[in-house]
Structure 1
Amino acid sequence: MQKGKTNAAPALVIRLLNKSLPHFVEVIKAFMDNSLAMHKLVKGGKQSQVLTSKVKLVVFTHVLEPVTVASIVFTNFVKICGRSGGVEEMELINQVIESVQSHLKYFDISLSKNIPDYIHDMWNRQKDEILILTGIEKVEIGQALVDMCLNACEELFKKESVMVSSDERVNYIRIQNNFLQDLSELAFNPIRLPMIHKPNE
């Protein structure tokens, strides 16, 4: 019986990952489409864009592309939550935004083929301003990415509010128990995620 359960684990894990990761990518794309219309980003000329946290996140997701953003965030979820059995939400937020900034720091936009011209122009015109994040912007952008992952991958991750004192609660992010057990049986390596898009030729 135990052997059968072990053999079933890989299929379950791969099925959940193949379902959740593409869904996460679609959630990011929906955010990008909705935000472009909502914030009326500048689409030409020399006018500078007012850079709110959401506008910066729209730029980040276009520049890095949704698949890369989803992979960065998802890897942090599995690596941090799996290692500790759960992590304070704010610690995960900080790690996610740090990873995104690290990818953006040395990013060569000329290598991207699918960025709209006005995002490309905004990046070239306001890159330094876009990349400098205040403490509040880091929290707002990191929180948005964490929330998108939780919404898209609810079968894999959960948020729990834990009472840490008589008048204080802290949110923890944990891997769902069944998924965590299956990952441990597979000696799961979060870096070796299933491919959710074809590599660039």
Structure 2
Amino acid sequence: MPNILIISGHPDLKTSLANKTILETLDTSDLPFVLRRLDLLGWDLDVEKEQSYVREADVIVFQFPLYWYSYPAIIKNWVEKVFAHGFAYGSKGTALTGKHLMVSFTVGGGSDHYRKGGQNRHPVEEFLYNFEQMAELCHMIYEPPVYSFGSAYIPGVSTEEDRQRVIKNSKDHGQRLLERLKQF
């Protein structure tokens, strides 16, 4: 069984419906994994400790809401500090070689927004080039992403029907992610 490291990058997970539900779905499974919640760890990381988790992992999953067509700043902070030159890349940076990188994310808008000619002008996959390049630079194996559209829920604005739809879609997302992780 591979060692799976999940980096939860929602900046305030307790206020999330979709990302929290996905992680709860994973947590109720029998799949062993290590979860690092960046909302609890904060910005001032113990880099050596985080790198020790990375060293032990065979599969690294970033779980996050899509913010401004990318990942939230708290994950970017983690990546910049943990995937450092000399550790993750460069002539002596081999700690990530051969590890699998997967992104799992939620998208607030609908799939119709992410297409050529749609509101965001591009399919969502075209916004993921940075993860593919990260994997390439670090000699990792980039895995196809797991994502869900229509994940926005705003208390006091969204309806109960919206809430139930997001929960259902997020549980389905969690199950799809589980199935993918069980294939390693």
Same fold (TM over 0.5): no
Normalised by the length of structure 1, the TM-score is 0.25
Normalised by the length of structure 2, the TM-score is 0.27
Q: Compare the two structures and name the one with the higher helix fraction.
A: 1
Structure with bigger RCO (C-alpha 8 Å, 6+ apart): 1
CA radius of gyration, larger in: 1
